[in-house]
Amino acid sequence: MKTIKIILFVLVNALMNLISKFVLGVIIPLKLNVRYKNIRVVYSTRGPFVFLPNHTNQWDPFLLCFAMLRPIRWVASDGVLRDLVKNLILWGGVIPKVKEQSDMITIEGLRKAIAMGYPVGIFPEGEQNWVGSTQKMIPATAKLVRFLKIPVIVPIFKGGYLTKPRWSWQIRRTRIDVHFTKVIDADEIKTMKLAEIEQRIAEALVHDDYEWQKENMVPIRSNKRAEHLELAHYICPSCETLGTLKSEGNSLFCSCGYRVEVDSFGFFQYPEAGPAFDSPGDWVEWQNALLAERIREQLDSSADPVLLRDGDVTLMRGERAKKMLPVLTGEARLYKDRLEVGNIGGEIISFPLNETTAANTFKQQKFEFRYEKVQYRLQQPNRSVSGYKWEVAYKGLRNLLVERGEW
C-alpha cells in the first residue's frame, strides 16, 4: 500500500508540474517580464539540490518552477494551505511549515523529497521582505544545509519587489531578472564549518531592488504605484502620528498635509520642506524604532497602558493547514502582558503574551500568532489598516521585556 501511495504521489506530482507549466506559460508572459540568467548551473547539477532564493513577492516559487525541468518541493508557510485548493497544493509538493518554529514534520518532508530525487526550495529569510532589500537569514538555515548534504543554489530575484511589493495587491509590469549561483557543492559541505556555510549563503543573498533600479532604470507600468503603501509605512514622518497615512494611485499622504509621490521608476519623491529618507528601508527602520521607544515610554509612565489598538478587527482561528474561521469581531488591544480582542462590556478573549509564539504578518496585513498549538489571526477591517505594525509592536515589546527579565 505504501509503494502504491508513493507511485501515485509521483504521478500526480508530475501531472501537476506539467499543468502548472502550461498555466504559467500563459500567465507569466501576460503579467510579468522575466529573464533568467546563468540557469545552466541548475541544469548541470545532477541529483537533488536546494534552492535558497531571496523572497521578493508571492510569484517567486512559481517563476522558479516554470523554468525548471523537474518539480520542486517547496517549504511554505502553512497559511498558504488554508484555502479550497490546499489538497492540490500538497499533492503538488508543498511542505508546510509553521513560521518561527522548528518543525520535525517539515524536516521529515524535506528528507523524503530528497530521497525521491526532488530538488527542494526554502526561503532563508522566512518571509517576503517589506522594503526591497534582503533581510536577515533564519539562523537555522546553515544547520539545515549541513543536514541535507546536497548542493546549494541561490537564485536572486532582481526587480521582483518593484513588480509586486509585499504591501500591494497589484502586479506592476516592469522587469524581473533571476540570477542563479551555485554557492556550495555537496562535497564541500562535509568539511565546512557552520559559520562558513552561513557566511557564503548570506553573501550570495545580498540584494537591494532600489540599488539595482538605480543602475537599470526600468519603467514601472502602473498608475497605482503607491496604493496600500501605508501597510508598510504606518507612521507619518512629519507629524509622527500612527495610522493617518492613506494612499491612492501614485500618492501616499497624511491628514497633516505631508505627501509622497512614487515616480515611474518606483522611487519616492518627498516634499521639499518635509522629512525625507535615503531609502524606503530607512523610513521603515525609523518608524519601527519610534514605535518601540513609545512602548518603552508608555510602560514607564503607566501601570497597564494600551500599547496598540485597532477597531473592528476579526479574530480568526485555525489549526495548522485547516481553514481559518472567525471567532469574534471587536477592538484588538496590546498590553504589557496580554493581547485582547473584544469590546469593553462584551465578550473579550485574552492571550497571555508569554504563552504566544510565531508572531508574524501573513501576506499584506494579517497579523498571526500561535497559542496552545492553535494559529490565530487578526483580520483587519479594510486594506488600509497595517497588520505589520502589530508584528513590530509585539516583537519590540518582547525584546524590551526580555531585556528587563520580565518575559
The full DSSP string for 245-297 is: EEEETTEEEETTS-EEEE-TTS-EE--SSS---SSHHHHHHHHHHHHHHHHHH
Of the listed ranges 122-131, 315-324, 338-347, the least confidently predicted one is 315-324
Of the listed ranges 84-88, 152-156, 187-191, the least confidently predicted one is 84-88
Question: DSSP state, 218?
Answer: -
pLDDT digits (tens, 9 = 90+) for 259-311: 999 999 999 999 998 899 999 999 999 999 999 999 999 999 988 999 999 99
Decide: 378 and 315 in contact? Cβ < 8 Å: yes
Show the cell assigned to 332: 484588538
pLDDT at 100 > cutoff 90: no
Place of cell 494559529: 375
Place of cell 518539480: 71
Decide: 252 and 230 in contact? Cβ < 8 Å: yes
Q: According to the model, what pLDDT value does residue 22 have? A: 62
Distance CA 214, CA 231 (A): 24
- What mean pLDDT is predicted for residues 315-341? 93
Show the cell assigned to 27: 500567465
Of residues 194 and 30, more confidently modeled: 194
Q: According to the model, what pLDDT value does residue 106 have? A: 83
Distance CA 398, CA 405 (A): 10
**With bands split at pLDDT 50, 70 and 90, how would you rate the model's confidence at 179?**
very high
Place of cell 469581531: 329
Distance between first and last Cα of the chain: 49
Percent of the chain with pLDDT over 70: 88
Q: Using DSSP bridges, classify how beta strands 50-51 and 120-121 pair: parallel, antiparallel or unpaired.
A: parallel
Residues near 87 by beta carbon (within 8 Å), at least 6 away in sequence: none
Q: Tell if the pTM clears 0.85, that is, is over it.
A: yes
Q: According to the model, what pLDDT value does residue 164 have? A: 97
Decide: 91 and 163 in contact? Cβ < 8 Å: no
Q: According to the model, what pLDDT value does residue 84 have? A: 47
Of residues 21 and 250, more confidently modeled: 250
Place of cell 513577492: 57
- What mean pLDDT is predicted for residues 376-394? 97
Decide: 17 and 43 in contact? Cβ < 8 Å: no
The closest alpha carbon to 217, from 272, 260, 162, belongs to 162
Place of cell 489538497: 87
Average pLDDT, rounded, for the chain: 90
pLDDT at 10 > cutoff 70: no
**With bands split at pLDDT 50, 70 and 90, how would you rate the model's confidence at 250?**
very high
**C-beta neighbour count of 3 within 10 angstroms:** 7
Place of cell 471587536: 330
- What mean pLDDT is predicted for residues 180-207? 96
Query: C-alpha angle 72/77/81, rounded to 5°?
Result: 85
- What mean pLDDT is predicted for residues 175-197? 95
Show the cell assigned to 324: 481559518
SS3 183: strand
Percent of the chain with pLDDT over 90: 75
**C-beta neighbour count of 50 within 10 angstroms:** 25
Q: Write out the H or E segment, with its range, that includes residue 366.
A: strand 366-371
